[in-house]
Each structure stands twice: as C-alpha cells, then as structure tokens.
C-alpha cells in the first residue's frame, strides 16, 4: 500500500501573504499533478492540517475547488491555522466527519487502518489531545488489536528542537504515548506543523513529520538564530506499507532545474534495467551497469 502525505497547504485568497511569498494555491495544483503522473499512484492521500492560512470560509471554498480534481481518495484533518467548525462545514458531505466535537475518525477500507485525530485547539496555535480523545483512541485501537495502524495528526507529539514550533507544541502528548505504547499495532504516526522532515520514535512506533507543499521552516534550533521561513522547494511524502512496516520517502514535486537521465546514457536500457532488477553482484569496471 502506498500513502501520500501533504501538509501545511496554507491555501489563501488573492492578495494574501501565502499568495505573495510563495503561491500556495499553485503549489497544491502542482502537487496534485505530480501525484496523478506517478507510474504507481498512491491509494490514498492524507492531508495533515493547516489546510488554509486563516481558516476562513472563502479559503475552504478555494481548497475544495483545488481538491475537486484530485482523482485519489483524500482524508483531511485541521491544523492550528484552520478553524474546526469551518472545516466541519466545508467537508460536511464526507461521511467520516463527525457531527460535533474534534475531527477524530477511523478509516477501515485499506490494509492499514487509518486514524485521524484533531489536535487543533480553537483560538490557539498550540495543540491539544484531551482525555476524551485519548479514551476514544484507546477504545478504537482495542477493537482491532492485530491490524496495522497509522495515526495521522497535525502537531507532532514530540519536541522537535525547533524552538519556535516547540513553543506551540502538542499538549497531551505523554497521554498519547501511553495509549500508543499499549497498542503495538500502531506502527507509524505522521504529522505536519513544523514544515520540515523530522523523525523520532516511541519504541517500535516511528513518528515522522512532513515538509510543506508551500514554504519550509529554517532549521533554527536556538532562539539566537532567529525564526525564519524559506522558499526552499515544496515537498510531500510517500509512506509505503510493506506488510512488515512503513518506508517513508520525502520528495520535491516541482521539476528539477537539472537532471541526468541515466537511462539515456545506456545504449540498451531495457537489458540494463533487467540486469539491475536481477540483483547483486555488480562488478566495477567499464562493463558494469553502474
């Protein structure tokens, strides 16, 4: 199973900051194009929050319009830049959106169970998982103890070392860890928020963050370094379930400025490709594949 993750889309209206620094809306269009042109399309896309820049209804309207041409099933959760009730209204036609409370839900349609949790706290940029949410998660995990599970949320449940984002961290992360450690079928937790690829783990459970489809955060590990955002390339992630665990890839989706196409430098690429796929040994020298 191949899962695509997009995060921190920051969709904005004409003249908004996220259309002037980098055009967030155009970046999302390019990300969708990239997913559509892959030889192997993902089976599902997970969008992990900060879908809009301010959570306004007109921004959610723009988001829906951009996502309407996505030909892959998508599941979304809000982030701190979104507004929960505006999110609920915008996606009220989706059967997985609860009628009230946090946007927490489970998707059972794939080889891996997908659980989305809403870490947004109305009126605040720091996040929260409250006792009720943790109890719901514990009960939900208890119903399928042997099915591999991926948990997706916005705020990462660990301190990243990025001082600015650690200030607006997730409250309730220790409670989440207690629940997850009681359910070893949770093989991976994916998040956004920090606009950088970062990995951590709780025992056998990997935790990864995805870069943004718009701008990235600078690697500011000390307040004396300041706090910057950059126009570094927009990115997304692929999470491949192998049957034993997840392999995570981080990739840009805009065309590179320079590429060496190896297949064009080999006279008989089909034969060379089949030789590579056959596996080792690969001997060095002029006659070698590499």
Cα dihedral 220, 223, 224, 228, rounded to 10, equals 40
State the Cα–Cα distance between residues 162 and 165, nearest whole angstrom. Answer: 6
Least confident stretch, 25-39, 54-68, 202-216, 263-277: 263-277
- pLDDT score for 188: 98
- pLDDT score for 289: 63
Q: At 106, give phi and psi (nearest 5°).
A: -130, 140
Instruction: Give the confidence band of 215 by pLDDT, cuts at 50, 70, 90.
Output: very high
pLDDT at 240 over 70: yes
State the Cα–Cα distance between residues 120 and 153, nearest whole angstrom. Answer: 9
| SS3 of the chain | CEEEEECCCCECCCCCHHHHCCCHHHHHHHHHHHHHHCCCCCCEEEEECCCECCCCHHHHHHHHHHHCCCCCCEEEECCCCCCHHHHHHHCCCCCCCCCCCCCCEEECCCCCEEEECCCCCCCCCCEECCHHHHHHHHHHHHCCCCCCEEEECCCCCCCCCCHHHHHCCEECHHHHHHHHHCCCCEEEEEECCCCCCEEEEECCEEEEECCCCCCEECCCCCHHHCCCEECCCCEEEEEEECCCCEEEEEEECCCCCCCCCHHHHCCCHHHHHHHHHHCCCCCCCCCCCC
pLDDT at 58 over 90: yes
Express each pLDDT in 99-123 by its tens digit. Answer: 999 999 999 999 999 999 999 999 9
Beta bridge partners of 128: 171
Mean pLDDT of 117-131: 95
Mean pLDDT of 146-173: 96
pLDDT at 134 over 60: yes
Express each pLDDT in 262-280 by its tens digit. Answer: 888 888 889 888 988 998 8
Domain range summary for the chain, segments of one domain joined by +:
2-259, 261-290
Count of CB atoms situated within 10 Å of the CB of 203: 9
The chain-wide mean pLDDT, for the chain, equals 94
- pLDDT score for 260: 86
Beta bridge partners of 207: 189, 200
Q: What homologous superfamily is domain 2-259 in, according to CATH? A: Metallo-dependent phosphatases (3.60.21.10)
């Amino acid at each position: 199973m191949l899962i695509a993750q997009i995060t921190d889309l920051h969709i904005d209206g004409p003249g908004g900051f996220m259309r002037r620094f980098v055009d967030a809306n155009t970046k999302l269009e390019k990300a969708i194009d990239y997913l559509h042109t892959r030889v192997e399309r993902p089976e599902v896309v997970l969008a992990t929050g900060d879908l809009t820049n301010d959570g306004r209804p007109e921004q959610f309207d723009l988001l829906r319009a951009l996502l309407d041409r996505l030909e892959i099933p998508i599941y979304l959760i809000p982030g701190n830049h979104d507004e929960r009730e505006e999110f609920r209204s915008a996606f009220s036609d989706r059967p997985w959106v609860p009628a009230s409370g946090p946007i927490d839900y489970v998707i059972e349609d794939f080889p891996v169970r997908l659980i989305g949790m809403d870490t947004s706290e109305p009126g605040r940029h720091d996040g929260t998982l409250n006792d009720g949410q943790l109890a719901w998660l514990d009960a939900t995990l208890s119903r399928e103890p042997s099915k591999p599970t991926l948990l997706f949320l916005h705020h990462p449940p660990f301190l990243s070392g990025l001082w600015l984002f650690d200030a607006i961290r997730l409250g309730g992360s220790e409670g989440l860890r207690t629940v997850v450690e009681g359910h070893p079928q949770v093989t991976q937790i994916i998040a956004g928020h920090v606009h950088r690829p970062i990995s951590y783990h709780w025992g056998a459970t990997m935790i990864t963050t995805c870069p943004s489809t718009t701008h990235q955060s600078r690697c500011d590990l000390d307040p004396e370094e300041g706090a910057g955002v950059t126009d570094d390339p927009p990115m997304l992630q692929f999470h491949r379930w192998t049957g034993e665990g997840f392999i995570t890839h981080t990739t840009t989706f805009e065309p590179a400025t320079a590429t060496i196409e190896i297949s064009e430098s080999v006279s008989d690429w089909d034969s060379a490709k089949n030789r590579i796929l056959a596996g080792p040994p690969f001997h060095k020298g002029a006659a070698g594949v590499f």
